[in-house]
Amino acid sequence: MSNHPILIGGVGLVKGRIKNLSQAMVAVCEEVRHLIEQSNAFEGMPFKEINMVIRWDENSVSEPEIGPLRKSNQSLEVSTTISLREGKAVENEPDQLELLVKSELTKVLKLIEAKYDMRQIKI
């Protein structure tokens, strides 16, 4: 388990890469960490960490997927799919790239809030 309640990674399903993506994901993880710690949102949950994978593909998929709960390390795996074109369009605008990552994280959190009756986190 890491020191961050949310870890974000990415994987390309199509050829291409998005510049500045790592910095955007780290910035979002840092920002959200403080919000989660202040709200105690994970208190009473069967997980202490959310591992989110952004899949970059030809087309976006509107609904994220909640994967398995890893009880051994108390983590919940989730994934979301974004169009590579959408990421490339904002790769040179750090604020917009962070906004793109945050919007996907917001979708994921809303789904988890509904499934696990987790306290709402406003990001």
Query: Does residue 122 belong to any structural domain of this protein?
Result: no
Query: Does residue 36 belong to any structural domain of this protein?
Result: yes
Domain extent, residue 21, equals 6-116
Buried b (16+ CB within 10 A) or exposed e, 73-84: eebbbbbbbbeb
Spatial contact of 57 and 81, defined as CB atoms under 8 Å apart:
yes
pLDDT (tens, 9 = 90+) of the chain, 123 residues, equals 567 899 999 999 999 999 999 999 999 999 999 889 888 889 999 999 999 999 999 999 989 999 999 988 899 999 999 999 999 999 999 999 999 999 999 999 999 999 999 888 888
Work out whether strand 75-83 and strand 49-57 pair parallel, antiparallel, or are unpaired.
Answer: parallel
Query: Does residue 101 belong to any structural domain of this protein?
Result: yes
50 strand-pairing partners:
6, 76
Quote the number of domains for the chain. Answer: 1
Query: Does residue 123 belong to any structural domain of this protein?
Result: no
Interatomic CA distance for residues 54 and 39, integer angstroms: 25
